[in-house]
Amino acid sequence: MTQKRLAIIGNGMAASRLLDELVRRNATGVFEITVYGEEARGPYNRILLGRVLTGGSPNEIELKSNDWFAARGVAFQSGVRVTKVDPVARRLTTSAGDTHPYDVCVFATGSSPLIPQIEGLKSDDGGPRAGVHVFRTIEDCVAIRDRARPGSSAVVVGGGLLGLEAAKSLCDLGLHVTVLHLNPVLMNAQLDKFGGDLLRRAIEKMGIFVRTGTTADEIIGNGHVEAVKMRAGDVVPADLVVFACGIVPRTEVAKASGVPVNRAILVNDLLATQVPGIYAVGECAEHDGQVYGLVQPIWEQCAVLADVLTGANPRARYLGSKVYTRLKVAGVEVASFGMPDAQFPTDEVVQVFEERRGVYRKLVVRDGKLAGAMLVGCTEAAPALVQMFDRDEPLPPNRLDVLATGNAVSTPAEREVCNCNHVTESAVIEAIRDGCDTLPALCSATRAGTGCGSCRGQLTTLLTTHAVAQAG
């Protein structure tokens, strides 16, 4: 049987996960797969970029080595940018001018950092001003780290997940860090005022100065950054400025190739675009009006697309995702999902605020079922709460007990450790008993900890506990 030619444009986390799902379905026997990656390296986990910024090796966050591609017969063209796709001839063109035929094409181009067009971004000669950076790639991290000097000043524009991670990493490097966030609440996409204020206090205790309700209006400096002027007119000294204030789906090649685009590349329940033979997944895809930027929905998209492309499950459809976030943000545990607050008079809100411990927990209940939750400072109950949310299960009468411990899901067979990959505690324990005695081995065997990484602490605890039990 003649193999079909499958071109994957992009080499980020979505492309990497799609490859995993395809390989699990033996797709290399059906497809001749070629991956086109703009970066001159293999895929890596962008969520863990802070490790590289603070001095870690890029290998620590690598998802696939060149050996992985070679062993599976997947062609990998690194440092190659696809500039155009011809849907009629089914041929793509690269930045080198080469053309390559395809039968099926998948856009997994991800997104680019959003940089506000403010005064002073460029130096007098028209080039980029020295000291202005974004926080998106390993190369960005290396460039920031090379410029960062203990005792110097840095301004991070953006108080979301990436911005706070960058701020914490720069603080750990010994810089004086100021965070500017336009919204009055930090991580406002995930937290309410109580949660945002608690997170802010925890971050300020680390020595990071936070300014909310404002943002950068001008970069000041002669050739290199010297200060940042805010909208209110205040000036903050800065030797380094890092923009982490949002992302924009990368749709330029798709749009130029005649693929319909709105905010991102439009796809249906099969992750197919309106152009035959072309699909899209990840941050560059828009499904039913939603563009997802978190790991778990993208993982779900990749599983469906692998089923669709290989025919492994002809009924596979992507029907959207219930989105949740569980991360350690600048050293502070945060989890949120569903509705952030009551929307109707009959909605029930349960809140526990322990200021001294730095803990905030909140449930939003509708018709006796969990409609949303928010946890700051302690997220042990998050996996169980997420399961109740996903399954649309009735909550037990004692809401406070559920909020404190999440023990409504009590058996290891049901209790999820890794929500990104839906890995249960019993599956982790079984892998340990089968010989996985290190964290990398455990992650590889179960896929737990390979998404956002927030469950790695719990995996380490289970590894230690059950390794000791086995030794005893």
The closest alpha carbon to 305, from 337, 282, 322, belongs to: 282
The pLDDT > 70 percentage for the chain reads 95
Instruction: Please determine, for residue 410, whether its predicted confidence score (pLDDT) is greater than 80.
Output: no
Q: Where are the beta strands (DSSP E) in 304-413?
A: 324-329, 332-338, 348-354, 359-366, 369-376
- Residue 159 tokens read as 């108080």
- Residue 340 tokens read as 């952030």
Instruction: Please determine, for residue 452, whether its predicted confidence score (pLDDT) is greater than 80.
Output: no
Instruction: Please determine, for residue 112, whether its predicted confidence score (pLDDT) is greater than 60.
Output: yes
Q: What is the pLDDT of residue 413?
A: 57
- Residue 96 tokens read as 């080198």
Q: In which band, very low, low, confident or very high, does the pLDDT at 229 lie, cut at 50, 70 and 90?
A: very high
What average pLDDT does range 151-163 have in this prediction?
Answer: 94
Amino acid (1-letter code) at residue 415: R
Sign of CA dihedral 157, 158, 164, 169: negative
Q: What is the pLDDT of residue 470?
A: 57
Q: Which stretches of 176-256 are DSSP H helices?
A: 193-205, 252-256
Amino acid (1-letter code) at residue 416: E
pLDDT in tens, 173-212: 999 999 999 999 999 988 999 999 999 999 999 999 999 9
pLDDT in tens, 235-271: 999 999 999 999 999 999 999 999 999 999 999 999 9
CA distances from residue 61 to 89, 452, 470 in whole angstroms, order as listed: 38, 11, 30
Between residues 326 and 409, which one has the greater pLDDT?
326
The pLDDT > 90 percentage for the chain reads 64
Q: How far apart are CA 139 and CA 147, in angstroms?
A: 13
SS3 for 153? strand
Q: In which band, very low, low, confident or very high, does the pLDDT at 134 lie, cut at 50, 70 and 90?
A: very high
Q: What is the pLDDT of residue 465?
A: 78
What average pLDDT does range 207-236 have in this prediction?
Answer: 92
Superfamily of 132-245 according to CATH: FAD/NAD(P)-binding domain (3.50.50.60)
Partner residues linked to 366 by β-bridges: 369
Q: In which band, very low, low, confident or very high, does the pLDDT at 411 lie, cut at 50, 70 and 90?
A: low
Instruction: Please determine, for residue 109, whether its predicted confidence score (pLDDT) is greater than 80.
Output: yes
Q: Do domains 4-111+248-310 and 132-245 have the same CATH topology?
A: yes
Find the angle CA(231)-CA(236)-CA(242) to the nearest 5 degrees. 85
Superfamily of 324-471 according to CATH: FAD/NAD-linked reductase, C-terminal dimerisation domain (3.30.390.30)
Residue 121 DSSP code: S
Instruction: Please determine, for residue 84, whether its predicted confidence score (pLDDT) is greater than 80.
Output: yes
pLDDT in tens, 139-155: 999 999 999 999 999 99
What average pLDDT does range 381-405 have in this prediction?
Answer: 80
Contact 383, 416 (CB under 8 A): yes
Contact 130, 33 (CB under 8 A): no
Q: How far apart are CA 39 and CA 23, in angstroms?
A: 23
Instruction: Please determine, for residue 471, whether its predicted confidence score (pLDDT) is greater than 70.
Output: no
What average pLDDT does range 435-448 have in this prediction?
Answer: 83
Residue 57 DSSP code: -
What average pLDDT does range 101-128 have in this prediction?
Answer: 89
What average pLDDT does range 19-27 have in this prediction?
Answer: 96
What average pLDDT does range 119-130 have in this prediction?
Answer: 79
SS3 for 463? helix
Q: What is the pLDDT of residue 327?
A: 78
User: SS3 letters for 260-278?
Assistant: CECCCEEECCCCECCCCCE
Q: Which stretches of 120-211 are DSSP H helices?
A: 138-147, 161-172, 193-205
Within 8 A by CB and 6+ apart from 213, the residues are 181, 182, 183, 184
Instruction: Name the residue ranges covered by the structural domains of the chain.
Output: 4-111+248-310, 132-245, 324-471
Amino acid (1-letter code) at residue 456: R
Between residues 449 and 179, which one has the greater pLDDT?
179
Q: In which band, very low, low, confident or very high, does the pLDDT at 406 lie, cut at 50, 70 and 90?
A: low
Q: How far apart are CA 205 and CA 432, in angstroms?
A: 38
> Which fold is adopted by the domain 4-111+248-310?
FAD/NAD(P)-binding domain (3.50.50)
Q: In which band, very low, low, confident or very high, does the pLDDT at 429 lie, cut at 50, 70 and 90?
A: confident
pLDDT in tens, 277-319: 999 999 999 999 999 988 889 999 999 999 999 999 999 999 9
